[in-house]
Amino acid sequence: MKKPEPLEEGDQVPNFATTDDQGTKVSSANLKGCRFLLYFYPRDNTPGCTAQACGFRDLWDGFKDKKTKIFGVSGDTAKSHEKFRKKFDLPFPLLMDEDHSLAKAFGVWGLKKFMGREFDGIHRMSFLVDDAGKIEKAYHKVKAKENPAQILSEL
């Protein structure tokens, strides 16, 4: 188990291809020319992850006004993502990363400690990517409730 080594501002986004909870293909190639936010979170339906997702939902119009797409990413199943999205009326897609390849590519996969246990998992981090595919802003120390408003205020 090793510590996460997240990508930094100015880094090129790694090539990736996945699907969202509806089966729609999403890739770094088809996002070229768009500004987007990838926010990584540990798990659907947990208090912090729900607060963060609902924060993005509540500020959705502001992100649309700034022409910024939002994608949530965790290692949960499509069924879990779909239930989570519907339960909280999330207007943005949740991307599939069951094998953690996307989390590893962005450097957010690594050693976590919780209740005296150590394990590998996804660290809560967000990456704002510009229309050229470079990381415009990296948020490595994310507070779930504050992250959506913080990012929107910086756009």
Catalytic machinery residues? 49
Query: What string of DSSP letters covers the chain?
Result: --------TTPBPPP-EEEBTTS-EEETTTTTTSEEEEEE-S-TTSHHHHHHHHHHHHTHHHHHHTTEEEEEEES--HHHHHHHHHHTT--S-EEE-TT-HHHHHTT-EEEEEETTEEEEEE--EEEEE-TTSBEEEEE-S--TTTHHHHHHHH-
